[in-house]
Structure 1
Amino acid sequence: MSNTNRPLWAPWRIEYIRAEKENECFLCRMLEEDTDRDNLILFRSKTCAVVMNRFPYTSGHLMVCPQRHIADFSELTQEEDLEMCELTRRAIAALRNAMQPEGFNIGTNLGSAAGAGLKDHLHRHIVPRWVGDTNFMAVIGDRHVVPESLTTTYDILLEKF
Structure 2
Amino acid sequence: MADDVVRQDGAGEPDQLERLWTPYRMAYVRGDERPSGTGEEECPFCRIPTRDDEAGLVVHRGDTAYVVLNLFPYAAGHLMVCPYRHIPDYTDTTDAELVEIGQLTKRAMTVLRSVSRAEGFNIGMNQGRAGGAGIRAHLHQHVVPRWVGDANFLPIIGRTRTLPQLLGDTRELLASAWG
Aligned residue identity for 2:101: M
Question: 1:134 maps to what in 2?
Answer: 151
Helix, strand or coil: the match of 1:113? coil
Aligned-residue CA RMSD in angstroms? 1.8
Q: How far apart are 1:74 and its partner, in Å? A: 1.7
Structure 1 residue runs of 4 or more that deviate by more than 6 Å after TM superposition: none
Helix, strand or coil: the match of 1:112? coil
Establish whether residue 31 from structure 1 lines up as the match of residue 45 from structure 2: no
The runs of 5 or more residues in structure 1 that have no matched partner are: 1-11
Establish whether residue 87 from structure 1 lines up as the match of residue 99 from structure 2: no
Question: 2:71 maps to what in 1?
Answer: 54
Helix, strand or coil: the match of 1:125? strand
* Aligned counterpart in structure 2 of residue 76 of structure 1, from 93, 103, 113: 93
TM-superposition CA deviations, 1:109-158 (whole Å, max 9, x none): 00011110010100100000011112344456564321111111111101
Aligned residue identity for 1:160: A
* Aligned counterpart in structure 2 of residue 151 of structure 1, from 168, 172, 175: 168
Q: Normalising by structure 2, report the TM-score.
A: 0.77
Helix, strand or coil: the match of 1:74? helix
Question: 1:19 maps to what in 2?
Answer: 31
Q: Normalising by structure 1, report the TM-score.
A: 0.85
Aligned residue identity for 2:123: I
Q: How far apart are 1:15 and its partner, in Å? A: 4.4
The structure where helix makes up a greater share of residues is 1
Count of residues paired in the alignment: 149
The runs of 5 or more residues in structure 2 that have no matched partner are: 1-21, 37-41
Please identify, of 142-151 and 44-53, the stretch whose mean Cα deviation from structure 2 is larger: 142-151
Give distance in 1, aligned partners of 2:116 and 2:71: 18
Aligned residue identity for 1:145: T
Structure 1 residues 114 and 143, CA, compared in 2 at 3 Å: closer, same or farther?
closer
Larger radius of gyration: 2
